[in-house]
Structure 1
Amino acid sequence: MAATTENLPRLKSAVDGLTEMSENERSGFINLVSRYLRFLYSLSINLLLLVMIKQMVFMFITNDVDVSETKNLLDKLVVLKLNGGLGTTMGCTGPKSVIEVRDGLTFLDLIVIQIENLNNKYGCKVPLVLMNSFNTHDDTQKVLIFYCGSHFLLLPYFLLSKYPRVVADEFVPWPSKGKTDKDGWYPPGHGDVFPSLMNSGKLDAFLSQGKEYVFVANSDNLGAIVDLTILKHLIQNKNEYCMEVTPKTLADVKGGTLISYEGKVQLLEIAQVPDEHVNEFKSIEKFKIFNTNNLWVNLKAIKKLVEADALKMEIIPNPKEVDGVKVLQLETAAGAAIRFFDNAIGVNVPRSRFLPVKATSDLLLVQSDLYTLVDGFVTRNSARTNPSNPSIELGPEFKKVSNFLSWFKSIPSIVELDSLKVSGDVSFGSSVVLKGKVTVTAKSGIKLEIPTGLWSRTRTSMVPRTSE
């Protein structure tokens, strides 16, 4: 059955019978589906022609913050970490935020340490709040007991909405067809952060405490730390919304970019681009920056827009196949909300503020001597002269974080590494130093161990070197 607006009454009736959903979730889901169905009919006239769009000009923030005003600035801030994702890319079934990333500390450990040090240093009260999904909530709650003695023992959180997956062929909620376990549901993307923050009561609570801005970032982005110069600029210039962008590399060509379109700052995602313009969108010459998903948003503006039901972000259809059934998830992205806020800006920030860990290759980077860890902050080693990080490709043997470290007696030194490509049954001894371009391939059925020494060859059959 094709998806049409005629399906909506039947879908709504089925959703009304799903007792697992709150009234806010029912309303939000039906609103999302209604907009999606209307969009299908207007798609032909809404496609963006990139040849008609000019890349907007970004502002660099360079002003300093006086130490004496730091406490006053920080007392206006809330830090919100998006904690709804699972570490499935790295073979995990639980929250990504509880994966160990450095010195036995998890993402969540590092975030808590950062905020605690900030509050202790300046005598301020920056609250940390988590946005969990139904997939991550229970497991996240279990680890909070380990923060005994911390003032984050009762770490505040709220839940992302829980929406039913739609059976594509029939356009009905899958749970109404009997799929009542977790696989029948999905969290509708981090664009739901704004209504969920409001519906949870947390937004009004923060406003009553005198908070003005929320810094929203992914929990797996180790570079997403509080920046006082950005916060000061937003307060001084009354910017309701700020998106951090950073220079695009060939690894980021699919990332969303900011554009100036019809007099508004807007986020353009690759899913919105016509096929004939995709290569143009991916160009790092024409579209030089991409969205880091580090967002700064005014709390009063969020309240005003949510109450007016004005945050109608572009819908991202996400078709999937689960247990042999083709289903549809309709999602939104928080970055797409930028066009609804007054005086919204994009800030071009250093690449150091975008350090996500999406795969074990990223984990190798942050666990190596390329970075140091101080007070919860992961900082790049100044001995690295190349402004770019090494390119690392690890074979499927290294994919799962659960046995990732078993391939290393110690993490190799990579400060002077340009690229590393490893495939096959390869393990690394202790005190291995990798320099230049290194490729290691173990043939099928052969175990290869890289012993102590300096390795800097481009060939697969490498010989250790003890000096340059």
Structure 2
Amino acid sequence: MADEKLAKLKEAVAGLAQISENEKSGFLSLVARYLSGDEELIEWAKIHTPTDEVVVPYDTLESPPEDIEATKKLLDKLAVLKLNGGLGTTMGCTGPKSVIEVRNGFTFLDLIVIQIESLNKKYGSNVPLLLMNSFNTHEDTLKIVEKYANSSIEIHTFNQSQYPRVVADEFLPWPSKGKTDKDGWYPPGHGDIFPSLMNSGKLDLLLSQGKEYVFIANSDNLGAIVDMKILNHLIHKQNEYCMEVTPKTLADVKGGTLISYEGRVQLLEIAQVPDAHVNEFKSIEKFKIFNTNNLWVNLKAIKRLVEAEALKMEIIPNPKEVDGVKVLQLETAAGAAIRFFDHAIGINVPRSRFLPVKATSDLQLVQSDLYTLVDGFVTRNSARTNPSNPSIELGPEFKKVGCFLGRFKSIPSIVELESLKVSGDVWFGSGIVLKGKVTITAKPGVKLEIPDGAVIENKDINGPEDL
């Protein structure tokens, strides 16, 4: 049955003129693996907590010499790659998420460019920036990148693969059934970065420039900056792959974690966990760390493994319904590749290296006085004594960036805030200070305005009379 399905699919895929031969073969090998059902199931009893040799504590890394020439030597072996395939749709934006303004009028992409420019300027190095787009973000990104035409850094863009969505009941590519617009296709997850880097020619270009490592991170993670201690460690220890992990809080219980499994380090995702063990997986006692998706990978090792077709990461089936049609898309994650590389390690980094902006509540954190901006780097305010950030829950009225910005005359001071919960039609004046635990609830149909200069500490506000 599986063979018949695959044969029919192969025939249909051969006729798809919109994608390359590389994309066709990559897609078909993913489907063949999916249909064969040879996914290895994790045996729970074989899971071990990694030792400090495998997940290295950040504070045990040696600082590289402060010497400018030595630092330049290290940096000249590095390229930075940002995953730029995501749209800002969950935050109500139409283009690539990386062009949302984060702070002082700068977008994610502006900050990334400024950071690398200041590094290159300081050390006389030539660290290039690569952006991996999807077909969703490619055209917009090309236009956006034009504004850096006079920048001193080399910027390269390339596209990750474009695979056809499969119509679930017939198991045929949707584009061959007449769905020829963008909705007929999907980008197959960031695990696709390795073949795409190779197929685009960018991998060989970097190797020809003497680059040895690529630092990969999500473009919306403001904490993912070049770290000389990590780079120095990897070059000296010859680690082919490094995943930055950080201590788990209750907000991160679904994040993948590193385990030792049959003598190798491996990423364990919630989807792989047997139902009976899901609560154990989510506990922060046994699995104390999670994957930040900041990855450092040796370029020669990528080439070797892609050429050998050895990167068979776990397949993530993602069923969707689009325009009333049930479709299937098969994806992979870059972190899952860790088990195929030699001398792969995790580094348990400070939480400051994980500052993703996934929702407007995260935007409120990074736009507030909790952070300052220096040379494109977002730095936490030392006046905050609590190591963890306040938890912020904003109602649906704040979900879209435009609405969020419109409801704040200025972002409140939150250095002493523990938690904030806002629901209903709430509007904030300027110069407001929030401390402790604050809940603000507007009654249905009532507009609640928090006046300029209000100081609210450990209070539940349900109307003007509570202010």
Which category of TM-score, normalised to the shorter sequence, fits these structures? over 0.9
State the TM-score, normalizing by the size of structure 2: 0.96
Displacement after TM superposition at 1:458 (Å): 3.4
Contact 1:253/1:284 (8 A) holds in 2: yes
Match of 1:76 in 2: 77
Return the alpha-carbon distance in structure 1 between the equivalents of residues 409 and 342 of structure 2: 53
Distance 1:418 1:239 in 2: 40
- Separation of aligned partners in 2, 1:47 and 1:200: 33
Measured against aligned partners, the alpha-carbon deviations of 1:252-301 in whole angstroms (never above 9, x if no partner) come to 00100111001111111111111111111111111000000000000000
Amino acid at match of 2:42: L
Give the match for residue 359 of structure 2: 359
1:6 is aligned to 2:7: no
Residue 123 of structure 1 aligns with which residue?
124
The residue that corresponds to 1:348 in the other structure is 348
Q: Report the number of matched residues.
A: 459
Q: CA deviation at 1:462?
A: 6.9
**Percent of pairs with identical residues:** 76
- Matched letter for residue 90 of structure 2: T
Give the whole-Å Cα distance in 1 for the aligned partners of 2:36 and 2:254: 26
- 2-structure distance, mates of 1:402, 1:143: 20
Per the alignment, in what secondary structure is the counterpart of residue 125 of structure 1?
coil
- For residue 456 of structure 1, give the secondary structure of its aligned residue in structure 2: strand
Q: Deviations over 1:198-247 (max 9, x none)?
A: 11111111111111000000000000000001111111111000000000
Q: Is the Cα contact below 8 Å between 2:442 and 2:462 reproduced in 1?
A: no
Structure 2: distance between partners of 1:106 and 1:132: 17
* Contact 1:455/1:465, CA 8 A, preserved across alignment: no
1 CA distance for matches of 2:227 and 2:463? 44
2:25 maps to 27
Identify which of 25, 42, 47 aligns with 2:41. Answer: 47
Aligned to 2:389: 389
Q: Any conservation in 1 of the 2:246–2:350 contact (CA below 8 Å)? A: yes
Letter in 2 for 1:16: A
The 1:341/1:464 distance shift into structure 2, 3 A limit, reads: farther
Q: Could you tell me which amino acid in structure 2 is paired with residue 73 of structure 1?
A: L
Give the drift of 1:149.
2.2
After superposition, the Cα gap between the structure-2 partners of 1:464 and 1:145, relative to the gap in structure 1 and judged at 3 Å, is farther
Which residue, out of 49, 56, 60, partners 2:57? 60
Q: TM-score of the superposition, structure 1-length normalised?
A: 0.96
Q: Tell me whether 1:167 sits opposite 2:167 in the alignment.
A: yes
CA distance in 1, matches of 2:218, 2:82: 6
* Partner residue in 1 for 2:371: 371
- Unpaired segments of 5 or more residues in structure 1? none
Indicate conservation of the 8 Å contact 2:267/2:335, yes or no.
yes
Question: Quick one: distance in 1 between partners of 2:463 and 2:410?
Answer: 20
Measured at CA, do residues 47 and 148 of structure 1 come closer, stay the same or move farther in structure 2, by a change above 3 Å?
closer
Deviation at 1:360, TM superposition (A): 0.3
Per the alignment, residue 276 of structure 1 pairs with 276
* 5 and 274 in structure 1: CA distance in 2 versus 1, 3 angstrom threshold: farther
Alignment of 1:238-249 (within 5 A): 238-249=238-249
Q: Does structure 1 retain, via aligned residues, the 8 Å contact 2:174–2:184?
A: yes
Displacement of 1:91 in angstroms is 1.3
Most deviating of 407-416 and 452-461? 452-461
Query: Following TM superposition, by how much is the alpha carbon of 1:67 offset from its aligned partner in structure 2, in angstroms?
Result: 2.0
Whether the 8 Å CA contact 2:424–2:441 is kept in 1: the answer is yes
Instruction: Please give the per-residue CA displacement for 1:164-198, whole angstroms capped at 9, x wherever unaligned.
Output: 00011111000011111000000000001011001
Matched, 1:234 2:231: no
Within 2, Cα distance between the matches of 1:6 and 1:56? 43
Matched-pair contact (CA < 8 Å) for 2:371–2:379: yes
Give the equivalent residue in structure 2 for 1:409: 409
Deviation, structure 1 residue 395:
0.2
Structure 1 residues 55, 225: closer, same or farther in 2, change over 3 A? same
The C-alpha deviation readout for 1:339-387, integer Å capped at 9, x for no partner, is 0000000000000000000000000000000000000000100000000
Q: Is the 8 A contact 2:72 2:125 kept in 1?
A: yes
Counterpart for residue 424 of structure 1: 424
CA distance in 1 between partners of 2:466 and 2:269 (Å):
46
**Structure 1 segment 208-223 matched on structure 2, within 5 A:** 208-223=208-223
CA deviation after TM superposition for structure 1 residue 461, in Å: 3.2
Query: In structure 1, what is the equivalent of residue 177 of structure 2?
Result: 177
Q: Give the aligned partner of residue 90 of structure 1.
A: 91
Question: Does the 8 A contact of 1:257 with 1:291 survive in 2?
Answer: yes
Query: What's the CA shift for 1:144?
Result: 1.7
Alignment partners' CA distance in 2, 1:122 and 1:102: 26
* Pairwise CA distance, 1:464: 9.5
Displacement after TM superposition at 1:5 (Å): 3.4
- The alpha-carbon deviation at position 141 of structure 1 amounts to 1.1
One-letter code aligned to 1:401? V
Deviation at 1:93, TM superposition (A): 2.0
CA root-mean-square deviation: 1.4
Q: Which moved more, 1:396-405 or 1:25-34?
A: 396-405
Q: Are the aligned partners of 2:46 and 2:261 in contact in 1 as well (CA < 8 Å)? A: no
Task: Return the offset for 1:60.
Answer: 1.5
Distance in 1 (CA, whole Å) between partners of 2:4 and 2:57 is 49
SS of residue matched to 1:458? strand
Paired position in structure 2 for 1:200: 200
The Cα shift of 1:145 comes to 2.2
2:266 and 2:368 map into 1 onto residues whose CA distance is 37
- Alignment-mate amino acid for residue 389 of structure 1: N
Q: Is the 8 A contact 2:448 2:464 kept in 1?
A: no
SS of 1:78 mapped into structure 2: strand
Matches of 1:465 and 1:171, distance apart in 2: 59
Match of 1:108 in 2: 109
**Alignment-mate amino acid for residue 31 of structure 2:** V
Q: Work out whether residues 57 and 349 of structure 2, in 8 Å CA contact, stay in contact via their aligned partners in 1.
A: yes
Poorly superposed stretches of 4+, deviation over 2 Å: 3-6, 49-52, 460-466
Name the SS for the 1:156 alignment partner.
strand
Whichever residue aligns with residue 273 of structure 1, its letter is V
CA shift for structure 1 position 402:
2.1
Q: Work out whether residues 433 and 453 of structure 1, in 8 Å CA contact, stay in contact via their aligned partners in 2.
A: yes
